[in-house]
Every structure is written in C-alpha cells, then in structure tokens.
Amino acid sequence: MNANKLNNSGREVPLAFGVGEKAAPTDRAGLTPRNRLLASLPQEILASLRPHLRPVRLPRGRVLCEAGDSRWRVYFVESGVVSLVTGDRASVTAATVGREGAVGGPTVLLGGGLVCGRYQMLVPGSALVMEAPQFRIALQDTLDFRSLCEVYTQAFFVQVLQNLACGKLHTAEQRSARWLLMCDDQTEDDACELGADSLAAMLGVPPSVGDAVASRLQEGGLIHLRQGSITVLDRRQLEATACVCYRIVRHYYERLGDHYYDRPLAQKNT
C-alpha cells in the first residue's frame, strides 16, 4: 500500500477529535500496537498503516459512534472495553469490544454503510484511530488486512447473535460469569474497572439482581469486588459457571490467530 496514495485520495473530510478524546502519549512513529488485529498483521503492512493511526484516550461513557452515523472512523481498541448498546431508555448490551477488535469500519463491513447501535466506552481506555478514507483504501489495497477484518466481523456478528440467545436461555449467574470472562480476555488487566452497576446493565437486570449475583460470585472466591472495579480470582471456576456462549464466541475470535488471547482457557475439554 502506498502511503502517499492514502494521504491524497481521501474524499471525506476527516472528523475532528470528539469531546473527551485526547491524544494518548504514544510515539506514533514507533508505535507498537496492543490491539490484537493490528498486532496480527505482517510488519510491512503494519508499517504502511502506522502513519494513519492516531492514539486517543477514551474516558468512560464516551460515545464513539451512534446508530445511523454515515461518517465514521475506526477505533482499534488498545485498552478498556466498548459496549454496543441498542434501544433507547431500556438499553441492551448487544456486544463488547476490547483489545481483540475494532469499532467502526469492521462492523460497517456487514453492509449498508451505516453504524448500527451505539458504541460507548464501558471501561475507560485508549485506541488507535484511523479515518474512514484511509481505512477504505487499506481494505482495497491490502488483502491480508481485508481478510483479517472480514474474519473479525464474522466473529463480532457471532457474538451479537449469541448474546441474543444467551439472554433468553441462560441464568443471570451464568451470564455474569461469561461477561466477566470476556472482560478479562478483552482488557487483560489484573482488575477490570467495571462496577457492579455496569455488570447489571450488561445483563439487562435491575441493579439489585446484579449486586446479588456479584456477591455470590465473590463469596465463592471467583471474583473480588472493590469500589468501581472487579478482579477475576479464579478463571477455572468462572469458566465452570459460565454458559456455553463464552466458548462458542471465543472460538470464532481465535480463528483470527493462534494465541489470540493472552488468557488461556483454564479448562480445555468441557
């Protein structure tokens, strides 16, 4: 891919930084991405994309894109967790995105050219941002990049579908364990800055139900709750508690590459 071509052929006016977005203190020239999609690319392709990636910090609650947006940019998530929520007053969390993925362009690959749902920071973090024109050109010019984004988009779509079934078929405790494992995979931090109220919102249950489930998991020694953060203590037990949806969705993401997640499955054959 030709860097000059990328610079000169964009037709859209690049969007300015959104409210709450600030450049993260990263040396763009020497960028080593934590984002799994970018890190999976061959070095020469990553080198051609680097000039078009801009680091930003993303506080909790920041909306990255809204349903119906036709002007979008791509956020390759470096840290934190983004939730895809649908609905107005009674929002439902349809999917989450962390270091394993991206928001914006890859989901637009599903067709229509419009963003579906609202993507909002659930756990504060950072991302590398690419504007839409450069993303489109990279997809056209670089087969490896396009293939990666297509496989990612399929995995993301599976997550949305599985969440739909999960909400109908599995208990709040099973679903809590599943969301917590996903957050642990997506952040790969010791403690996830996710309050019990956020857990309830992800489950679509009243806060009292979310609190009760989180307390049971803590009493069982699976997690540790602190003000505004949850630490996973026992992945093996959490995997045993989680519904099958966790493994189904993870399987599709692991098609993106061996060792796609730092966290190995504690139980291989269940």
Contact positions vs Zn ion (CB under 5 A) = 166, 170, 243, 245
Distance (Å, whole) CA 37 – CA 52: 15
Which CB, 47 or 169, lies closer to Zn ion?
169
Minimum Å gap between C-beta 159 and Zn ion is 11
Distance (Å, whole) CA 155 – CA 169: 20
Report the C-alpha dihedral over residues 180, 120, 101, 251, rounded to 10 degrees.
40
Minimum Å gap between C-beta 11 and Zn ion is 42
Place of tokens 């590398």: 128
Start-to-end CA span in the chain (Å): 44
DSSP string, 37-87: HHHTS-HHHHHHHGGG-EEEEE-TT-EEE-TT-SS-EEEEEEEEEEEEEES
Minimum Å gap between C-beta 69 and Zn ion is 30
Minimum Å gap between C-beta 2 and Zn ion is 45
Minimum Å gap between C-beta 209 and Zn ion is 16
Minimum Å gap between C-beta 248 and Zn ion is 8
Which CB, 170 or 216, lies closer to Zn ion?
170
Which CB, 142 or 159, lies closer to Zn ion?
159
Helical residues (DSSP H) of the chain, grouped into ranges: 3-8, 36-39, 43-49, 105-108, 132-141, 143-169, 172-187, 196-203, 207-219, 235-241, 245-254
Answer for the pair 231, 224: CB distance below 8 angstroms, yes or no: yes
Q: What is the phi/psi pair of residue 96, to 5°?
A: -130, 155
Which CB, 34 or 170, lies closer to Zn ion?
170
How is residue 223 annotated by DSSP?
A: E
Residue/partner pairs of 231-237 with CB below 8 Å, 24 or more apart: 231/190, 231/191, 231/192, 232/180, 232/181, 232/184, 232/192, 235/181, 235/184, 235/263, 235/266, 236/266, 236/267
Which CB, 56 or 242, lies closer to Zn ion?
242
Minimum Å gap between C-beta 8 and Zn ion is 48
Which CB, 78 or 173, lies closer to Zn ion?
173
Which CB, 166 or 199, lies closer to Zn ion?
166
